[in-house]
Amino acid sequence: MAVDIPAEVVQQEQVGPGLYRLSLYAPQITRSAVPGQFVYIRCTDNLDPLLRRPISIHGVNRERGELFLLYQVVGRGTALLAARRRGERLGVMGPLGRGFTLQAPGQRVVLVGGGIGVAPLVFLGQVLVQRNNQVCLLVGARSADQLPVGKEGYTAPFELAVATDDGSCGHHGPVTDLLEKILAGEGADMVYACGPRGMLHQTALLLARYDVPGEFSLEERMGCGVGACLSCVCKTAGKGGEPLQYRRVCVEGPVFPADQLVWD
């Protein structure tokens, strides 16, 4: 059950240029949060900017009641969030949305994260490893210093491969090159992805070509975060020729089956 609570900042850490890792004390949220869900945060107590910011859950420590968020400063809201310090309290609604469908133990899964889109995949990867899945995380970024995975991600017990646009770290080229190599080689039972729309579209094309199921976590501008305002919809088509429809990223998502998304 989602709650709206004043959550105390435990730690705010800059992990790269414009990249922050925030830890909040929010036991009511960590208790039930699953990978792929998000929280809706008030970045300021003032009315400008007005709206909360949706941020995916990067990890939880249920024993300590801590919620981890990895986010990028992209505008005034996230800049204000980055200025919040230990001991301050933020209005946090969550956990919200539908998370990833977990695979049966023993299956091989590939996680594809573009930029800050890697944030929810680290939480997912940790849970999948606990369930004895074989997990490989592919991370794409513009350059080495933009790699968004914090220390926790690098020490996580799963395979990791990196691609950068400028070749400053790992493969020189898009992260989907790495995915294609895997799909054409050893293959995968399931692919989960989160990142820029172009990367997700390319990933969807690869999944269709190699006939591998996938789930994508989407980002969209939100109003309410709970399904009331219909601002954050995405265009979907059901299987079997169901008509196109707008579905709410905040409640029917943010995670959708890859083959239901419409790319235009």
Partner 1 sequence: MTKPNLAVDVAGIRMKNPVTTASGTFGFGSEYAPFVDLNRLGAIVVKGTTLLPRQGNPLPRIVETPAGILNAIGLQNPGVNHFIEVALPYLRQFDLPVIVNIAGDTVEDYATLAARLDEVPGVAGLEVNISCPNVKKGGLAFGADPDSAAAVVRAVKGATRLPVVVKLSPNVTSIVRLAEAVVEAGADALSMINTLLGMAIDIRRRRPALANVMGGLSGPAIRPVAVRAVWQVYQALKVPIVGMGGIVTAEDALEFIMAGATAVAVGTANFINPRATTDIIEGIERFLVEEGVSDIQELIGAAHM
Residue ranges of the annotated binding site for FAD are 53-56, 70-72, 77-78
Q: What element of type H or E holds 198?
A: helix 197-210
83 conformational bin, left if phi > 0, alpha if psi -120 to 50, beta if neither: alpha
Q: Tell me which of 52, 72, 148, 175 binds partner 1, using CB under 8 A.
A: 52
Closest CA to 14 of 148, 119, 132, 161: 148
The type of residue at 25 is Y
- Least separation, in Å, of the C-beta of 49 and partner 1? 5
Residues in 92-121 at the binding interface with partner 1, rule: CB under 8 A: 93
Closest CA to 161 of 214, 202, 113, 102: 113
Count of residues near partner 1 by CB under 8 A:
32
- Chain position carrying tokens 């990067």: 58
Residue among 1 and 185 whose Cβ is closer to partner 1: 1
Percent helix, strand and coil across the chain, each rounded to 5? 25, 35, 40
Is residue 1 part of the contact set for partner 1 (CB under 8 A)? yes
The interface region with partner 1, picked from 106-114, 127-135, 175-183, 232-240 by CB under 8 A, is 232-240
Using CB under 8 A as the binding rule, whether residue 21 contacts partner 1 is answered as no
Give the nearer residue to partner 1 in terms of CB position, either 169 or 233. Answer: 233
Interface with partner 1, residue 51, by CB under 8 A: yes
* Closest approach of partner 1 to the CB of residue 222, in Å: 8
79 binds partner 1 (CB under 8 A): no
Residue 226 touching partner 1 (CB under 8 A):
yes
Q: In sequence order, what are the residues at sequence separation of 6 or more whose Cβ sits closer than 8 angstroms to the Cβ of residue 188?
A: 108, 109, 110, 136, 182, 212
Whose Cβ is closer to partner 1: residue 65's or residue 91's? 91
Shortest separation between residue 38's beta carbon and partner 1, angstroms: 15
- Residue 87 as a binder of partner 1 (CB under 8 A): the answer is no
Please give the helix or strand (H or E) that residue 30 lies within, else none. Answer: helix 27-30
CB of 75 to partner 1, least distance (A): 9
Minimum distance between the CB of residue 249 and partner 1, rounded to whole angstroms? 10
Q: How far apart are CA 185 and CA 200, in angstroms?
A: 21
Q: How far is CA 251 from the centre of its chain?
A: 15
Stretch that binds partner 1, among 47-55, 136-144, 151-159, 171-179 (CB under 8 A): 47-55
74 binds partner 1 (CB under 8 A): no
The continuous run of DSSP H or E covering 184 comes out as helix 175-184
Residue 252 makes contact with partner 1 by CB under 8 A: no
> Cβ of residue 103: shortest distance to partner 1, in angstroms?
29
Q: Does residue 122 contact residue 137 with C-beta atoms inside 8 Å?
A: yes
Three-state helix/strand/coil letters over 72-132: ECCCHHHHHHHCCCCCCEEEEEEEECECCCCCCCCCEEEEEEEHHHHHHHHHHHHHHHHCC
Q: Which residues bind partner 1 (CB under 8 A)?
A: 1-4, 42, 47-52, 91, 93, 220-234, 244-246, 251
